[in-house]
Amino acid sequence: MTQDSIKIFCPATIANISCGFDVLGLALSAVGDEMVIKKVPIPGLRITKIIGLDLPKEVENNVAGVAGLAFMEASTYKGGFEIEIYKKIKAGSGIGSSAASAAGAVWGMNALLDAPFSKRELVQFAMAGEKLASGVAHADNVAPAIYGGFTLVRSTDPLDIIPIHAPKELYASIIHPHIEIKTSDSRKILKTSISLADGIKQWGNVGALVAGLFQEDYDLIGRSLVDHIVEPIRSILIPGFDEVKQEALNAGALGCGISGSGPSIFALSKGLATATRVTQAMSNVFVKMDLSYDPYVSEINTKGIQIIS
């Protein structure tokens, strides 16, 4: 790496994939932020520009800043970094807006220093940014942003991330309805205990989903995209959720659920044509409700964060 400045693409991500609450995530190609990371002689970390969202530039109050500080604390590098953030992922959309910034900062800094840290270590640094954003140092968005594809966070302490094979014909549909749900609020409404019977169903589905992904068994993926625990509670916060889900399934989606802690709703489909039809069917529900929204159709981004220039 001879460059002192890189521009990178930082993908949006879907966490809590149906049965995979708090463990399964995937990275998208069709939507993401851009960031410019510069290596500079003056020590310290500065956020010099933020376009697209009104976010604090003070590093201690910015998720990219906090993640970057965690990186620099562990690094032997004596110089400094400057960060420009071009936000395309809306805050509070449920597709990993804070994760993209946190992961992008540390990934970019690592690339400029010839990659002294592993992907796993970068996730660990980025989790500091997630903690600032939501109060919880979760890894289920930053892991797929950094690794690409599907990731399973087996454990956060110690951090154990397992890349899961992404079938080639799998596409994601996302609808982001313009309503606000705070991650911290949507955590509060969850029950702290669940029935053993529901737990058994959930881990049966997680095991089956992982098997379906490795075997590219789309029917099995569809049968396993079921959430007995969180969706029944959180979906109450998303107007039109049940109808959107039903329309997605009617249009041929393998499964449909809440992206992250919402309000975005995702569906997975086999093939781009079906995913496009599914996105349209989901959109129609919000059109009918006169609720504005952003629709996306995306392949699974198997590379994660990448250098643009």
Residues 38-77 that bind a copy of itself (CB under 8 A): none
Report how far residue 66's alpha carbon sits from residue 302's, in angstroms, rounded to the nearest whole number.
26
Using CB under 8 A, which of 164, 221, 253, 254 touches a copy of itself? 164
Residue 167 in contact with a copy of itself, rule: CB under 8 A: no
Angle (deg, nearest 10), helices 241-250 and 272-288: 150
Q: How far apart are CA 223 and CA 208, in angstroms?
A: 8
Name which of 116 and 199 has its Cβ closer to a copy of itself.
199
Site string for a copy of itself, 193-222 (x = CB under 8 A): xxxxx-xxxxxxxxxxxxxx-xx----x--
- Residue of 34, 130, 231, 247 marked active site: 130
Does residue 14 belong to the site contacting a copy of itself (CB under 8 A)?
Answer: no
Residue with Cβ nearer a copy of itself (138 or 270): 138
155 versus 250: smaller Cβ distance to a copy of itself: 155
Shortest Å, Cβ 135 to a copy of itself: 15
**183: annotated active-site residue:** yes
**Shortest Å, Cβ 257 to a copy of itself:** 15
* 161 to 37, 73, 150, 269: CA distances (angstroms): 26, 22, 10, 25
CA dihedral 150, 155, 156, 161 (to 10 degrees): -30
- Report which secondary-structure segment, H or E, holds 8: strand 5-15
Q: In the bound complex, what is the minimum distance in angstroms from residue 195's beta carbon to a copy of itself?
A: 5
And the tokens for 172?
């994601």
- Listing DSSP states for 21-38 in one string gives TTTEEEEEEEEEEEEEEE
According to DSSP, the β-strands at 44-51 and 80-86 are parallel
Of residues 308, 285, 229, 273, the one with CA closest to residue 36: 308
Determine, following the binding rule CB under 8 A, whether residue 160 of this chain makes contact with a copy of itself. Answer: yes
Lay out the site mask for a copy of itself across 93-132 (x = CB under 8 A, - = otherwise).
----------------------------------------
Q: Does 184 help bind a copy of itself (rule: CB under 8 A)?
A: no
Question: Which residues on neighbouring strands pair with residue 257, listed in sequence order?
Answer: 266
User: Tell me, what amino acid is at 180?
Assistant: E
Annotated catalytic sites, by residue?
130, 183
In the complex, which residues of this chain contact a copy of itself (CB under 8 A)?
A: 19-24, 152-155, 160, 162, 164, 190-197, 199-212, 214-215, 220, 223-224, 229
